[in-house]
């Protein structure tokens, strides 16, 4: 398809731009390892992440008003620590561990690909992470965003249409001038339903070698790419 009308690219971040699974496992192993704990760190990361969707669902369904992801992450962390029988952490240690989400490592192609894309397009986040989380991660991992959009600006969690549409509106664009980029089929379907263009970026090891979902694009998207540099190439960057 032609890319002449695309003005901005917005990105899912957890999984699409950064590798939360090994980043969280590594951070947890360092921070909890110092305290003498020896866990299955990848499992720890996966269980923490497993509580992410159910926590946001409380907000999506209106059972709870919007609360930023940092707070949901902390609530989920307390549950995961209990499950792993980890106790005795100070509030500063808990806070630091929770902020591991602010220090996630990019996939190897993310920074170079985003820098190429930024030369031609506005690039922004369209993540469920809150603004501070996104900004701190960008500073930590050299992610060159032009703008932070997503859950906190919209006070809603993807795939709530409000999330995508607030971002589009704040950019002063029409939905079909914005390309939603994600490694998750459902995220793209939800964006597509609101009129955004869509790009699948394959991250088939996001959940490790036994990943069963989102191995590949399962629907008709405008672009289907193997990584961020492949997408940059397809978009003429």
Residue ranges binding its own copies (CB under 8 A) = 70, 122, 124, 130-133, 135-136, 138-139, 145-148, 152-153, 170-173
- Which residue shows structure tokens 């998207």? 221
3-state percent helix, strand, coil for the chain, nearest multiple of 5: 50, 15, 40
Q: Which is nearer to its own copies, 176 or 230 (CB)?
A: 176
- Alpha-carbon distance of 221 to 186, in angstroms, equals 11
Q: Which is nearer to its own copies, 57 or 75 (CB)?
A: 75
Residue 108 dihedral angles phi and psi, to the nearest 5°? -55, -30
**Least distance to its own copies, CB of residue 108, Å:** 23
Q: Give every CB contact of residue 47 below 8 A, 6+ residues apart in sequence.
A: 80, 83
**Least distance to its own copies, CB of residue 65, Å:** 15
- Alpha-carbon distance of 187 to 190, in angstroms, equals 5
**Least distance to its own copies, CB of residue 164, Å:** 15
**Least distance to its own copies, CB of residue 213, Å:** 31
Q: Give every CB contact of residue 65 below 8 A, 6+ residues apart in sequence.
A: 59
Q: Which is nearer to its own copies, 130 or 185 (CB)?
A: 130
Q: Which is nearer to its own copies, 10 or 28 (CB)?
A: 10
């Amino acid at each position: 398809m032609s890319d002449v009308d695309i003005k901005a690219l917005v990105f899912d971040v957890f999984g699409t731009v950064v590798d939360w699974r090994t980043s969280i496992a590594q951070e947890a192993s360092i921070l909890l390892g110092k305290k003498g704990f020896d866990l299955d760190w990848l499992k720890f990361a996966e269980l923490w992440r497993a509580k992410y969707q159910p926590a946001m669902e409380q907000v999506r369904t209106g059972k709870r008003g919007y609360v930023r992801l940092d707070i949901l992450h902390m609530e989920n962390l307390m549950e995961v620590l209990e499950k792993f029988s980890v106790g005795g952490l100070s509030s500063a240690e808990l806070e630091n561990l929770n902020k591991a989400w602010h220090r996630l490592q990019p996939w190897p192609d993310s920074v170079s690909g985003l820098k190429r894309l930024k030369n031609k397009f506005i690039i922004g986040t369209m993540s469920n992470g809150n603004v501070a989380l996104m900004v701190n991660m960008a500073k930590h991992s050299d992610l060159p965003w032009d703008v932070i959009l997503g859950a906190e600006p919209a006070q809603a969690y993807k795939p709530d249409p409000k999330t995508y549409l607030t971002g589009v509106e704040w950019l002063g664009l029409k939905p079909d001038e914005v390309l939603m980029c994600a490694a998750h089929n459902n995220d793209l379907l939800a964006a597509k339903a609101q009129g955004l263009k869509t790009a699948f970026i394959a991250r088939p090891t996001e959940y490790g070698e036994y990943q069963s979902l989102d191995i590949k694009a399962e629907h008709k998207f405008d672009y289907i790419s193997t990584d961020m540099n492949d997408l940059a190439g397809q978009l003429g960057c």
